[in-house]
Copies of this chain bind each other. A is one copy, B any other.
Amino acid sequence: MLNSAAIIESSAGATPPTCFVPVETCRPKNPLIEKLGKFATLGGQEFDALERVCRSRKKLAPRETLLREGCRSSFVFLILKGMAVRYRYLSNGKRQIMGYLLPGDLCDAHFLVRNYLDHDIGLLTDAEVAVIPIRELTSVMAAFPTVRRALLETMVTERAMLREWLLNVGQRNARQKLAHFICEISERMQSLGQVNPDGSYSIALTQVELADTMGLTVVHVSRCLQRFRAEGLVEWLRHQLTIVDVQGLRQLAGFDEGYLHIARDSPGSCASAAARGLCSIVAA
């Protein structure tokens, strides 16, 4: 969707190479700009400012720890390519993964407000990041209220995702948890255009990561995936994920498309909710 397929190097045999969307929306190839563009309408000035802020880049090896709990920094990292996770360890050695960072995600905008981090951030793949001086980012935010607002929105979205995760980990059983996570991560990758031509996704996740995401053991994750496979719901071999039965998986997961707020606020994304009308107190 959006303009993701605008300049793509014919990875998809189906999409035509030409660019049919308006020039303005076709322009950004910077994932931060693409992401913020989903929350606010940005103009050329904003594009330039954001582009400038991301000029310092760095390539990183897989499995590297990007940021450590407690570290302080006057920079903010932006994922340009690759995948990272937030996590924390418990003293008993258990690890909880608290979020996945994909291209366009900041890790951590947190530093705009606090001077240290309360969790680790590790890379799952080799990656490219932009190293953004906080000072520059704040001045862009000051100069462009729309950027400030869009950044705020990304934080609010992240909070919403954490709530959904809490619901997932707290109230669903293992199969539902897994199903829900698969729906979520594939939706996010899809919105980034990271779908293979055959409809599969290349995801560098091991079952260990899945287990630590959902609060399960690797053994149990393995069994659940086996069953998914047997039931014709999902294929997940090596790092290739294929969702065979999207409907079935979503139903099992109780997945609500639109919760990720990937699309701009649209009445459709919360139609049922909106139907309930204004809150009681205000309406009274």
Contact = CB atoms under 8 A, between A and B. Distances in A.
Given A155-B156, A166-B169, A284-B1, A276 B70 contact: yes
A55 interface: no
Contacts of A98: 163, 166-167
A160 B214 CA distance: 18
Interface string A192-217: 00000000000000000000001100
Given A95-B171, A254-B91, A118 B160 contact: yes
A57 B69 CA distance: 41
A280 to B, nearest CB: 6
Contacts of A284: 1
B118 A167 contact: no
Contacts of A152: 112-113, 152
A114 B171 contact: no
Interface string A100-114: 000000000010111
Nearest to A155: B155
A42 to B, nearest CB: 16
A282 B107 CA distance: 13
A271 to B, nearest CB: 9
A149 B96 contact: no
A169 B216 CA distance: 11
Interface in A140-165: 149, 152-153, 155-156, 158-160, 162-163, 165
Contact of A96 (B69, B95, B166): B166
Contacts of A169: 166, 169-170, 215
B259 A167 contact: no
Nearest to A280: B65
A73 B153 contact: no
A90 B273 contact: no
A156 B114 contact: yes
A154 to B, nearest CB: 10
Nearest to A177: B170
A273 B70 contact: yes
Nearest to A72: B278
A242 B153 CA distance: 40
30 contacts: A2-B282, A58-B281, A67-B279, A68-B279, A70-B270, A70-B273, A71-B273, A71-B279, A73-B278, A74-B282, A75-B282, A88-B163, A88-B167, A90-B254, A96-B166, A98-B166, A110-B156, A113-B156, A114-B153, A116-B273, A117-B279, A118-B160, A118-B273, A155-B159, A159-B162, A162-B163, A165-B166, A166-B169, A169-B169, A169-B215
